[in-house]
Structure 1
Amino acid sequence: MPLPELPLDVYTQIFSQLPVSAANDGSISLARCSQANSLLREAACQSTLWDVHYRARYRHPAQAFSDSEGQDLPEDARLRYISRRRLDCTALHLLERIVSCVGDRCNTMKELVALSFDVWDALEIERTQPLPVMFQQPGQDLNTLVAPHAFPRRYWAGVALDLIAKSYATRLWRRLGEDPAAVSFEDAMAALSCFCGKSPLEMQSMFDDLASRCRAKLQADGCELNTADAACDVARICTGICDFMRSEGFGPADGTDFRRVHHHFAHFYLTTHRQTIPLSLVHVFVAIGTRLGLQASPVDFPYRVIAHVSHPSPTVDDIFVDVFGSDTRAILDPREDVARRCIAVGVHPDEIPQFIAPRRATPLILRSARNIVSSEFEDTVSPRSLIRTAVHVTKCVVTLVSEQMVDPTGFLLGTDTIQFDCATYISGIIAPALPAPRNRHLALMCDHRIRTARDEDSVVTMRTSSDRTVLYFVGMIFQHARYNYTGVIIGWNSTCDATESWIQQMGVDQLPRGRHQPFYNIYDVFGQQRYVAEDNIAVNADPHPSIQALIDQVPSLGMYFEDADIGEDEEGQTKARLLLSPEYQKKYPEDGHFGNAWMAD
């Protein structure tokens, strides 16, 4: 006997209780219900039910940051969700091709990155999927279902997200170079964080949250925010913003911390490095002030960057704010304080007006680039990977924004520049912005880098064809016999493949077997890549903490490996290896079997 049907509004109420998350659990159930009978279909297809699932999965509006013109998404939330999910499926198919090394990876990555922020949320979900048990942090659910090749998928999803963010940033700075009025100071500065894989929406959200809480605090203190009124107390609002920032932990960095490279990236000085430099504090002040209705701008002041706020009344002086020194005095007198500071650093009185004028983004983003160059040599604390990223950002900014002509080829294409950088934003965005013949030269060098990487990726290294016995294998966790650090092998040569100068500098010929023995490319647990002789390789007796340290310190580990295996030898000594990713199974097809035998021995 069939069950009686319930009224439509009852089904609607039931469906509204389905779980809402980015993981799609509730939306999948809703989709299945829409394939049932006509009454369930009518209930499950209601746009209001789908809207919450859409907003839970998609934080980035479709084409929110894209310059391309595309079809508008349907107004109906269900159809909008379906349209975005189709794009997600396209992105995940491309990601699978990259992970599995199918076809031309550079062109596949280029196609994936071209989908831009429309697929950012889907790739972000991939980057947070569960890892195999051996890679999980303590306390995680060991029964979680793990997708095939989860670790490589995480890595390559992260690479795609980085390239999408870099493409957005370079496109933004390209517009800035073409039209200084086209890009705001806030956006130009926040885009620096895109080279650390951050979405611009993340920066915007943090600024929005700060401004919302600042507004609430000012209103609670009785401060009127009628910023369009000629009688508005702009100075009080500016002082209130500075007070709010200090209450939130923003303030001046000092000592050796002043030169930390973190101070140039908004995602750091909005979170962990709020004690920061003048330019970054002004960036935060301008972002908050603009949201409160102030006409706030930076001033490229020679002493230190300050903020300029226009007063709505033409008869009242504009406001100059020293955000960095606001704990002693926030508001500067333009005739006394500002002029005195200019003269103190050698500015002629007749030139003062040009130094205190509100500025657009261009001179400030270039000033940030100069500061980064200084930090490169003076910052001895920050991770070298972050410093390298910061230097590459500087090169992109200078190439796109500066009026000074530079040869971008050797400037941009450093040793850390991967082929996917060349295939996406360097050849597709930076090169076309340059005048001839620099544009053609850069494009040709990018093509050369891509072809070289493609040739290297096609090399297959066989143990059985080596002219000497290779004792160890890709994936082995080892301990350096002389220096005692732990690492993992990521490649090998049957003999030393380094330059003669390196061989002499490292004393290779003083080793028992000299240069005529296998050498191994390795990553140590500190994230450093090294080249180690077989004489110096020993089995690691305590590999458990080493695996987690490698995951934490080697961001590219997922390119090489996908899981781990730990066992014991006949004497009860622990030994471990990392299992090869699909890419490295193809590059070293015999090492997996050799590793199996070594573990079973």
Structure 2
Amino acid sequence: MASTTLLDLPDELIHNIFLHLSASAAANFGQGSKRLYKISNTASLWRRWCREEWRYWEEREDRPIPDYNLHSTTQWKQAYADKVIQDKRFLTIFNDLLSTQQNRMARMHDIVEDFSYDAKDMLVRQLHAPHDADDVLARRYWSGVILELLHRYKAVQTWNKMQYQDYPPLEEALGAFDLFIQGSSSDFELEVLREELDDLAHAVESSDPDWRDKDYIAKAVAISKYLREHNLVGCSPETFSHMRYRFICHVLKHPTDKSSIPMQSVAIFCCVAERLGVKAWPCNFPGKIHAVIESSYGLSIKDTRANHTIPDGVVWMNPFENDEILTEQTMRDMLDQMPHYNTPESQYSCLTRAHTRALVLRNGVNIIGSMQFHRPSPGWETPNIAFCALWGLITMSQVDAPKSRELAVRHQHWLNQIVNWFEGYVQDGLWLDDALLFEKFVLPMLDGAEAKARLASVLQQIRVADANANPVTPRDERTSLVKHKVGQIFRHVRYGYVGAVIGWDPSCQAGEFWIQSMRVEDLPHGREQSFYHIICEDESLRYVAEENIVVLQEDPSENLLKLAGRYFKRWDQENKVFISNIKDEYPDD
């Protein structure tokens, strides 16, 4: 019986063999013959390997986001090669960032600006670095910091595109708020939001066997009823102030409580309606926002803009409260009861489709108002909430501010507020990574030479500090009395909090005001004892006298482990200390 060789097999079977190989192994295997080489270049193979290796792609002028459709024109092998090269470049920059404190911020900015989402898969992998990696804590920490910056950068980019066009879709514009505060979590993208709404639209249509026979008004009512039956619109008065209800993805993705405020209720209704062919949009109605619904045929509202009239067939709904259809007369009667809304122009503006930009602005105002007038919801006390709202407000009001004196004043107030916040946090050594956002987006917004010069000066100071190496503090005769080392964890003698040593001075180097206010001279050993820079479990940075430190021989908490990556490589379980990653500053610890 004659033996069968590999090349005796049909192309289909050899193709299946390639499917069980990695891309690099397949490329080597393909060098065996011209026939193998031809099969190894099959687009479906490289499409599969691209899909297996990477989830995130940045759309670029010279390379659109790959289309996984079977009839895609994407050059898959070239796309794979490009991503491999990009990943190697990313790792070089990222490893340099880990190796020294110098130019860390600059390298973070390079990753975000040069790679954007092309770096996200690699960042996610670093975020889940194996426990036995030599610098596991540093890799996880810094990849998380860059991921958070990348998410904020994408959110601000999304809003910035909307200044001169009614783009992107409503769910993406509102979803940018969620993206801004998402942190380093890798499981949320705007695509997740689109998929949730797609699934909802499919569920609505599948639940009604007579769906195709309904007219546009009956379909709108059916959508609202379905959302209400599944608790996807509205909320109780007792929970109205919950901050989570102001973030559309946090509403849709919550496993049990999907309550929402009017803005999100109407947005969800309109996004589902759009997917089902119903022409529905949020309108500018004051107070509780409504949805305006047009007939699929006949004149559209935009066709009658010149004479401020509403075409026949247009109706309204308030999905937050009920499933009722409201007529034009009903809506005008409500407006007649409100001051400033009794002219044809003002009423037309309230009853017609709102620009997406105005809706983002409205949501930002809702968030700020909730923070000012309501007690913070548990888990939503972070200043990032107000920070993201201010970003939405300044970007959305930039274009329209010159057209309205009132909006111009508010825009300037919001702009001053976000700059003041940034400067304050910079003084505390926080939010330095956001220098990129302020340099790229806020600086051009500022009017007046003085305001621009002030922010430019702060940004320049940040860059200079980042570029300069920290002073080296060796162990020598001058520092021989410093008892503790970088990496040790301790408990404060008096206040009981736990932290880790990230630096030290042979004597107190704080300013005289701090020394007096902290009553350092009242300590038994005063200011001449060693003082230690500390990172605490609550994320605060402190300066502690040696006599107030009791070194612990126990494992750090999960929160301290998470924060420790900023200064340390890993936790040494045997010696109960963190391994320093700031040797350039404290070489002997």
The alignment's TM-score, normalised by the length of structure 1, stands at 0.79
Report the counterpart of residue 6 of structure 2 in structure 1: 5
CA gap of 1:180–1:111, structure 2 versus 1, over 3 A, is same
Letter paired with 1:271: K
Q: Does 1:361 align with 2:381?
A: no
Letter paired with 1:215: H
For 1:246 and 1:29, how far apart are their aligned partners in 2?
Answer: 53
User: Structure 1, residues 463-507: CA drift from partner, whole Å, max 9, x if none?
Assistant: 436557222222212122223332222333334444555555544
Report the counterpart of residue 193 of structure 1 in structure 2: 178
The partner residue of 1:476 within 467, 483, 488 is 488
CA gap of 1:62–1:396, structure 2 versus 1, over 3 A, is closer
* Shift of residue 520, structure 1, vs aligned partner: 2.9
For 2:97 and 2:541, how far apart are their aligned partners in 1?
Answer: 24
Which of 1 and 2 has higher RCO (CA within 8 Å, sep 6+)? 2
Query: What SS class does the counterpart of residue 140 from structure 2 fall into?
Result: helix
Q: Does 1:233 align with 2:233?
A: no
For 1:239 and 1:290, how far apart are their aligned partners in 2?
Answer: 14
For 1:48 and 1:559, how far apart are their aligned partners in 2?
Answer: 42
For 1:348 and 1:206, how far apart are their aligned partners in 2?
Answer: 35
Q: Is the Cα–Cα contact under 8 Å of residues 243 and 376 in structure 2 kept in the other structure?
A: no
Query: What SS class does the counterpart of residue 370 from structure 1 fall into?
Result: helix
For 1:253 and 1:533, how far apart are their aligned partners in 2?
Answer: 51
User: Structure 1, residues 182-202: CA drift from partner, whole Å, max 9, x if none?
Assistant: 444332221122323478982
Report the counterpart of residue 244 of structure 1 in structure 2: 226
For 2:147 and 2:502, how far apart are their aligned partners in 1?
Answer: 24
CA gap of 1:524–1:221, structure 2 versus 1, over 3 A, is same
Q: Does 1:588 align with 2:586?
A: yes
For 1:110 and 1:195, how far apart are their aligned partners in 2?
Answer: 17
User: Structure 1, residues 355-398: CA drift from partner, whole Å, max 9, x if none?
Assistant: 333211222222222222234343434447x6311222233233
CA gap of 1:547–1:369, structure 2 versus 1, over 3 A, is same
- Greater Cα offset, 475-484 or 262-271: 262-271
Q: Does 1:547 align with 2:562?
A: no
For 1:287 and 1:205, how far apart are their aligned partners in 2?
Answer: 14
CA gap of 1:259–1:452, structure 2 versus 1, over 3 A, is farther
Q: Does 1:458 align with 2:444?
A: no
Q: Does 1:525 align with 2:537?
A: yes
CA gap of 1:465–1:444, structure 2 versus 1, over 3 A, is farther
* Shift of residue 152, structure 1, vs aligned partner: 1.6
Q: Is the Cα–Cα contact under 8 Å of residues 185 and 360 in structure 1 kept in the other structure?
A: no
Report the counterpart of residue 312 of structure 1 in structure 2: 296
| Long gaps (5+) in structure 1 | 19-25, 133-145, 227-231, 568-574, 592-601
Report the counterpart of residue 81 of structure 1 in structure 2: 80
Matches within 5 A, 1:286-365: 286-314=270-298, 316-326=312-322, 329=323, 331-336=325-330, 338-339=331-332, 342=335, 346=339, 348-350=341-343, 351-365=346-360
Letter paired with 2:557: I
CA gap of 1:296–1:413, structure 2 versus 1, over 3 A, is farther
Query: What SS class does the counterpart of residue 60 from structure 1 fall into?
Result: coil
The partner residue of 2:462 within 444, 449, 459 is 449
The partner residue of 2:441 within 423, 429, 453 is 429
For 1:325 and 1:432, how far apart are their aligned partners in 2?
Answer: 42
The partner residue of 1:162 within 137, 144, 148 is 148
Letter paired with 1:308: V
CA gap of 1:577–1:256, structure 2 versus 1, over 3 A, is farther
Q: Is the Cα–Cα contact under 8 Å of residues 170 and 430 in structure 1 kept in the other structure?
A: no
Q: Is the Cα–Cα contact under 8 Å of residues 310 and 319 in structure 1 kept in the other structure?
A: yes
For 1:494 and 1:281, how far apart are their aligned partners in 2?
Answer: 59
Q: Does 1:92 align with 2:91?
A: yes
Question: Superposition RMSD on alpha carbons, in Å?
Answer: 3.4
CA gap of 1:5–1:321, structure 2 versus 1, over 3 A, is same
For 1:33 and 1:539, how far apart are their aligned partners in 2?
Answer: 58
CA gap of 1:312–1:55, structure 2 versus 1, over 3 A, is same
* Shift of residue 180, structure 1, vs aligned partner: 4.5
Q: Is the Cα–Cα contact under 8 Å of residues 188 and 361 in structure 1 kept in the other structure?
A: yes
Query: What SS class does the counterpart of residue 59 from structure 1 fall into?
Result: coil
Letter paired with 2:156: T
Report the counterpart of residue 425 of structure 2 in structure 1: 415
Aligned length: 540
Q: Is the Cα–Cα contact under 8 Å of residues 524 and 550 in structure 1 kept in the other structure?
A: yes
For 1:285 and 1:158, how far apart are their aligned partners in 2?
Answer: 34
Q: Is the Cα–Cα contact under 8 Å of residues 60 and 201 in structure 1 kept in the other structure?
A: no
CA gap of 1:370–1:494, structure 2 versus 1, over 3 A, is farther
CA gap of 1:511–1:244, structure 2 versus 1, over 3 A, is farther
CA gap of 1:107–1:440, structure 2 versus 1, over 3 A, is same
Report the counterpart of residue 104 of structure 2 in structure 1: 105
Query: What SS class does the counterpart of residue 352 from structure 2 fall into?
Result: coil
Matches within 5 A, 1:362-377: 362-377=357-372
For 1:529 and 1:166, how far apart are their aligned partners in 2?
Answer: 24
Letter paired with 2:573: I
Report the counterpart of residue 70 of structure 1 in structure 2: 62
Q: Is the Cα–Cα contact under 8 Å of residues 261 and 375 in structure 1 kept in the other structure?
A: yes
For 1:514 and 1:239, how far apart are their aligned partners in 2?
Answer: 74
For 1:580 and 1:398, how far apart are their aligned partners in 2?
Answer: 41
Identity %: 23
For 1:257 and 1:453, how far apart are their aligned partners in 2?
Answer: 44
For 2:87 and 2:542, how far apart are their aligned partners in 1?
Answer: 38
For 2:476 and 2:289, how far apart are their aligned partners in 1?
Answer: 64
| Long gaps (5+) in structure 2 | 67-72, 299-310, 402-407
CA gap of 1:11–1:102, structure 2 versus 1, over 3 A, is farther
For 2:583 and 2:178, how far apart are their aligned partners in 1?
Answer: 34
- Greater Cα offset, 461-470 or 53-62: 461-470
For 1:225 and 1:451, how far apart are their aligned partners in 2?
Answer: 64
Query: What SS class does the counterpart of residue 533 from structure 2 fall into?
Result: strand
Query: What SS class does the counterpart of residue 191 from structure 2 fall into?
Result: helix
